């Protein structure tokens, strides 16, 4: 949850709301259990998911919200 909040603050600085659905957190936790990985690896998984959006948001001033519904799908960008 702390990782998520850090990225929410980063997106907020760009005027964008970051929403990570609970399913995503569960999927990351499932991977952690399956591969017996630690907190650093959890952060790496989260960063890998978020990184593409980090490149899109600064160039698109019309984006108001980024929503992740699944770890295995691209984010939805909500404009407004």
The residues, ordered by sequence, that sit 6+ positions from 15 with a Cβ below 8 Å of its Cβ are: 64
The residues, ordered by sequence, that sit 6+ positions from 40 with a Cβ below 8 Å of its Cβ are: none
CATH code linked to domain 2-79: 1.10.8.60
Q: What is the per-residue pLDDT for 23? A: 96
Q: Alpha-carbon distance 63 to 14, whole Å?
A: 10
Three-class SS of residue 23?
Answer: helix
Domain ranges of the chain: 2-79
Three-class SS of residue 24?
Answer: helix
Range with lowest mean pLDDT among 4-8, 22-26, 29-33: 29-33
pLDDT digits (tens, 9 = 90+) for 53-79: 999 999 999 999 999 999 999 999 999
> What confidence tier does 35 reach under pLDDT thresholds 50, 70, 90?
confident
């Amino acid at each position: 949850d702390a990782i998520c909040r850090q990225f929410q603050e980063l997106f907020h600085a760009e005027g964008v709301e970051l929403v990570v659905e609970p399913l995503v957190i569960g999927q990351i936790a499932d991977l952690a259990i399956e591969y017996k990985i630690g907190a650093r690896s959890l952060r790496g998984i989260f960063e890998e998911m978020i990184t593409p959006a980090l490149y899109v948001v600064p160039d698109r001033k019309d984006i108001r919200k980024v929503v992740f519904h699944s770890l295995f799908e691209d984010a939805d960008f909500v404009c407004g």
